[in-house]
Amino acid sequence: MTDVGTDQPEPIRVMVVDDHPMWRDAVERDLQAAGFDVVAVAADGDQALARFPAARPQVVVLDLQIPGPNGVEVTKSVLQTDPGARVLILSASGEQDDVLEAVKAGATGYLVKSASGAELLDAVRRVARGDSVFTPGLAGLVLGEFRRLSEPAGDTSITGNPELTERETEVLKMVAKGMSYKQIAERLVLSHRTVQNHVQNTLRKLQMHNRVELTRYAIERGLDSDDED
């Protein structure tokens, strides 16, 4: 993104979903002050889904604990409507399992609410650009999920379980240990961009696996009902 005066890029369109009015206003104000275009706000899942199609935001800043369809469901529906949109999860109480579910459903960023305003703005920019925003906590969750999927105790007939390359595991583990992309790049003698790509690949594989699982489930259900007819 260059800031050549005449070629001003379009501001990033953002939607803020949070049931807490003070929070919603604060985030909205911060985003507007930083030059983002807040195209919609919503206080619950129903509102979010109703307003999303018309507002067409590039980034949805989403609180996980909202009434109505919860954050995980909103993530799913929003990305079904517009696969090009990005979801950044903001969570106050750090409900770990919900965060993991939202990420599996396609969210590409996660931030705790106690993060600073600057961190939030940076996260929105990065998510809009297509990068993944990881906290060490999220990396630990994703890493744990891949470990779980690779356990031999699981159903051995399922061959489609995703696997991380050795490098991806190494990078993800370093993120989980709190190292910045820059530190990882130095330690592994890689470019910053390569580290970024490795991290993003891990998310992509997890989300892909989730979709495959859902499809498999749907097909099994579908075939069953065909048999009955």
- Candidates 117, 161, 167, 213: give the one binding other proteins (CB under 8 A): 117
Residue 57 near residue 15, CB atoms below 8 Å: yes
Q: For residues 26 and 190, which CB has a smaller minimum distance to other proteins in the complex?
A: 26
Residue 26 interacting with other proteins (CB under 8 A):
yes
What does 35-73 look like in DSSP terms, one character per residue? T-EEEEEESSHHHHHHHHHHH--SEEEEESS-SSS-HHH
Q: Categorise residue 178: left if φ over 0, alpha if ψ from -120 to 50, beta otherwise.
A: left
Interface segment toward other proteins; rule CB under 8 A; list 6-14, 54-62, 87-95, 206-214: 87-95
Binding of residue 153 to other proteins (CB under 8 A): yes
Task: Check binding of 223 to other proteins (CB under 8 A).
Answer: no
Phi, psi (deg, nearest 5) at residue 16: -115, 120
Is residue 94 a contact residue for other proteins (CB under 8 A)?
yes
Number of CB atoms found within 10 A of residue 207's CB:
18
Give how many residues touch other proteins by CB under 8 A. 38
Q: How far apart are CA 97 and CA 120, in angstroms?
A: 22
- How far apart, in whole angstroms, are the C-alpha atoms of residue 65 and residue 98? 9
Q: Is 151 in the site for other proteins (CB under 8 A)?
A: yes
Alpha helix ranges (H) inside the chain: 21-33, 45-55, 71-81, 96-104, 117-129, 136-150, 166-176, 181-188, 192-228
Q: Contact region for other proteins (CB under 8 A) — 38-46, 88-96, 158-166, 221-229?
A: 88-96
The sign of the torsion formed by the CA atoms of 59, 63, 67, 73 equals positive
The distance from CA 116 to its chain's CA centroid, rounded to whole angstroms, is 19
- Smallest distance, other proteins to C-beta of residue 152, A: 7
Q: Please identify, using beta-carbon distances, which residue of 151 and 226 lies nearer to other proteins.
A: 151
Question: Residue from 129, 148, 192, 211 that binds other proteins (CB under 8 A)?
Answer: 148
Q: Residue 193, interface with other proteins (CB under 8 A)?
A: no
201 binds other proteins (CB under 8 A): no
> Residues 60-79: x/- map of binding to other proteins (CB under 8 A)?
-----x--------------
Chain contacts with other proteins (rule: CB under 8 A): 20, 22-23, 26, 65, 92-94, 96-97, 100, 112-117, 135-137, 139-141, 143-145, 147-148, 151-153, 173, 176-179, 183, 187
